[in-house]
Amino acid sequence: MNLYLENDKIQELDDKKVMNLYMNRVALTTLSHFDTGKHPSEAAEPERFYHGFVLGPMVDLAERYTITSNRESGFGRYDVVLEPLSDTDGAIILEFKVHDPDEEASLADTAQEALDQIERMKYSASLEAKGTPKERTRQYGFAFEGKTVFIG
Protein backbone atom coordinates (compact mmCIF):
# COMPACT_ATOMS: atom_id res chain seq x y z
CA MET A 1 0.00 0.00 0.00
CA ASN A 2 1.04 3.57 -0.63
CA LEU A 3 0.25 6.57 1.52
CA TYR A 4 -1.23 9.67 -0.06
CA LEU A 5 -1.85 13.06 1.54
CA GLU A 6 -5.27 14.49 0.70
CA ASN A 7 -6.95 17.36 2.55
CA ASP A 8 -4.39 17.03 5.36
CA LYS A 9 -5.37 13.38 5.91
CA ILE A 10 -3.11 10.47 5.07
CA GLN A 11 -4.95 7.96 2.91
CA GLU A 12 -3.91 4.41 2.07
CA LEU A 13 -4.27 3.72 -1.63
CA ASP A 14 -3.55 0.77 -3.83
CA ASP A 15 -0.91 1.05 -6.54
CA LYS A 16 -3.36 1.56 -9.41
CA LYS A 17 -5.17 4.40 -7.69
CA VAL A 18 -1.89 6.16 -6.89
CA MET A 19 -0.69 5.63 -10.45
CA ASN A 20 -3.95 7.01 -11.87
CA LEU A 21 -3.81 10.09 -9.64
CA TYR A 22 -0.18 10.79 -10.50
CA MET A 23 -0.43 10.22 -14.27
CA ASN A 24 -3.59 12.30 -14.60
CA ARG A 25 -2.07 15.16 -12.60
CA VAL A 26 1.05 15.12 -14.79
CA ALA A 27 -0.96 14.83 -18.02
CA LEU A 28 -3.30 17.65 -17.08
CA THR A 29 -0.51 20.04 -16.16
CA THR A 30 2.01 19.20 -18.89
CA LEU A 31 0.29 17.89 -22.02
CA SER A 32 -1.27 19.86 -24.82
CA HIS A 33 -4.07 18.54 -27.00
CA PHE A 34 -1.68 19.27 -29.87
CA ASP A 35 0.71 16.69 -28.38
CA THR A 36 -1.81 13.87 -28.23
CA GLY A 37 -3.26 14.00 -31.75
CA LYS A 38 -6.83 14.35 -32.92
CA HIS A 39 -7.61 10.88 -34.23
CA PRO A 40 -6.86 7.83 -32.07
CA SER A 41 -6.14 5.35 -34.85
CA GLU A 42 -4.13 7.50 -37.27
CA ALA A 43 -0.92 5.49 -37.78
CA ALA A 44 -0.58 4.95 -34.00
CA GLU A 45 1.15 8.32 -33.62
CA PRO A 46 -0.73 9.25 -30.42
CA GLU A 47 0.28 5.91 -28.86
CA ARG A 48 3.94 6.66 -29.64
CA PHE A 49 3.61 10.03 -27.93
CA TYR A 50 2.07 8.48 -24.81
CA HIS A 51 4.72 5.75 -24.83
CA GLY A 52 7.42 8.42 -24.52
CA PHE A 53 5.36 10.30 -21.95
CA VAL A 54 5.25 7.25 -19.65
CA LEU A 55 8.88 6.22 -20.22
CA GLY A 56 10.22 9.59 -19.04
CA PRO A 57 9.31 9.27 -15.34
CA MET A 58 10.56 5.67 -15.28
CA VAL A 59 14.17 6.81 -15.51
CA ASP A 60 14.07 7.16 -11.73
CA LEU A 61 13.52 3.39 -11.48
CA ALA A 62 16.76 2.47 -13.31
CA GLU A 63 18.49 1.58 -10.04
CA ARG A 64 15.85 -1.07 -9.29
CA TYR A 65 14.86 -2.31 -12.77
CA THR A 66 16.16 -3.01 -16.24
CA ILE A 67 13.69 -1.09 -18.39
CA THR A 68 13.07 -2.32 -21.92
CA SER A 69 10.74 -0.92 -24.53
CA ASN A 70 9.19 -2.43 -27.65
CA ARG A 71 10.84 -5.83 -27.41
CA GLU A 72 9.55 -9.16 -28.60
CA SER A 73 8.23 -11.61 -26.06
CA GLY A 74 5.74 -14.42 -26.46
CA PHE A 75 3.72 -13.86 -29.63
CA GLY A 76 4.26 -10.13 -30.01
CA ARG A 77 5.97 -6.98 -28.84
CA TYR A 78 5.20 -5.43 -25.47
CA ASP A 79 5.32 -1.69 -24.83
CA VAL A 80 7.44 -1.64 -21.64
CA VAL A 81 8.83 -4.26 -19.26
CA LEU A 82 10.52 -3.49 -15.96
CA GLU A 83 12.69 -6.43 -14.97
CA PRO A 84 13.72 -6.34 -11.30
CA LEU A 85 17.40 -6.22 -10.41
CA SER A 86 16.58 -7.58 -6.94
CA ASP A 87 14.54 -10.56 -5.80
CA THR A 88 12.60 -8.23 -3.49
CA ASP A 89 10.88 -6.50 -6.44
CA GLY A 90 8.44 -8.01 -8.89
CA ALA A 91 8.48 -7.54 -12.64
CA ILE A 92 6.07 -5.13 -14.36
CA ILE A 93 4.56 -5.28 -17.85
CA LEU A 94 2.95 -2.14 -19.30
CA GLU A 95 0.77 -2.01 -22.39
CA PHE A 96 -0.51 1.29 -23.82
CA LYS A 97 -3.68 1.87 -25.83
CA VAL A 98 -5.25 5.02 -27.19
CA HIS A 99 -9.01 4.99 -26.66
CA ASP A 100 -10.97 4.60 -29.86
CA PRO A 101 -14.70 5.10 -29.21
CA ASP A 102 -15.48 2.92 -32.26
CA GLU A 103 -13.67 0.02 -30.56
CA GLU A 104 -14.34 0.45 -26.82
CA ALA A 105 -17.11 2.16 -24.86
CA SER A 106 -14.86 3.60 -22.13
CA LEU A 107 -11.28 4.15 -21.05
CA ALA A 108 -11.72 1.25 -18.62
CA ASP A 109 -12.60 -0.99 -21.59
CA THR A 110 -9.50 0.22 -23.42
CA ALA A 111 -7.31 -0.52 -20.38
CA GLN A 112 -8.90 -3.99 -20.13
CA GLU A 113 -8.09 -4.61 -23.80
CA ALA A 114 -4.46 -3.73 -23.04
CA LEU A 115 -4.47 -6.23 -20.15
CA ASP A 116 -6.09 -8.86 -22.35
CA GLN A 117 -3.41 -8.28 -24.98
CA ILE A 118 -0.66 -8.87 -22.38
CA GLU A 119 -2.21 -12.26 -21.60
CA ARG A 120 -3.19 -13.19 -25.16
CA MET A 121 0.27 -12.39 -26.56
CA LYS A 122 2.04 -13.97 -23.54
CA TYR A 123 4.31 -10.97 -22.95
CA SER A 124 5.54 -12.50 -19.69
CA ALA A 125 7.31 -15.30 -21.62
CA SER A 126 10.73 -13.60 -21.68
CA LEU A 127 10.53 -12.87 -17.94
CA GLU A 128 9.51 -16.43 -17.17
CA ALA A 129 12.37 -17.76 -19.33
CA LYS A 130 14.78 -15.77 -17.15
CA GLY A 131 13.27 -17.22 -13.98
CA THR A 132 10.71 -14.60 -12.91
CA PRO A 133 7.56 -16.50 -11.95
CA LYS A 134 4.30 -15.18 -13.39
CA GLU A 135 2.90 -14.60 -9.89
CA ARG A 136 5.70 -12.05 -9.29
CA THR A 137 4.76 -10.07 -12.41
CA ARG A 138 2.30 -7.18 -12.24
CA GLN A 139 0.49 -6.11 -15.39
CA TYR A 140 -0.92 -2.67 -16.13
CA GLY A 141 -3.01 -1.55 -19.07
CA PHE A 142 -2.79 2.18 -19.80
CA ALA A 143 -5.65 3.82 -21.69
CA PHE A 144 -5.23 7.34 -23.04
CA GLU A 145 -7.65 9.87 -24.44
CA GLY A 146 -6.44 13.43 -24.85
CA LYS A 147 -5.19 14.55 -21.43
CA THR A 148 -6.95 11.71 -19.61
CA VAL A 149 -5.21 8.53 -18.49
CA PHE A 150 -6.80 5.41 -17.03
CA ILE A 151 -4.63 2.59 -15.66
CA GLY A 152 -6.22 -0.79 -15.12
Residue 126 is predicted with a pLDDT of: 94
Nearest alpha carbon to residue 117 among 101, 148, 140: 140
State the pTM of this model.
0.76
12: alpha, beta or left? (left if phi > 0; alpha if psi -120 to 50) = beta
Residue 54 is predicted with a pLDDT of: 73
Cα 152 to Cα 66, 104, 130, distances in angstroms: 23, 14, 26
Strand-pair partners of 13: 2
Task: For residue 144, count CB atoms less than 10 angstroms from its CB and return exposed for 0-12, middle for 13-18, buried for 19 or more.
Answer: buried
Q: Which residues of the chain have pLDDT under 50?
A: 1-13, 40-41, 43
Residue 77 is predicted with a pLDDT of: 93
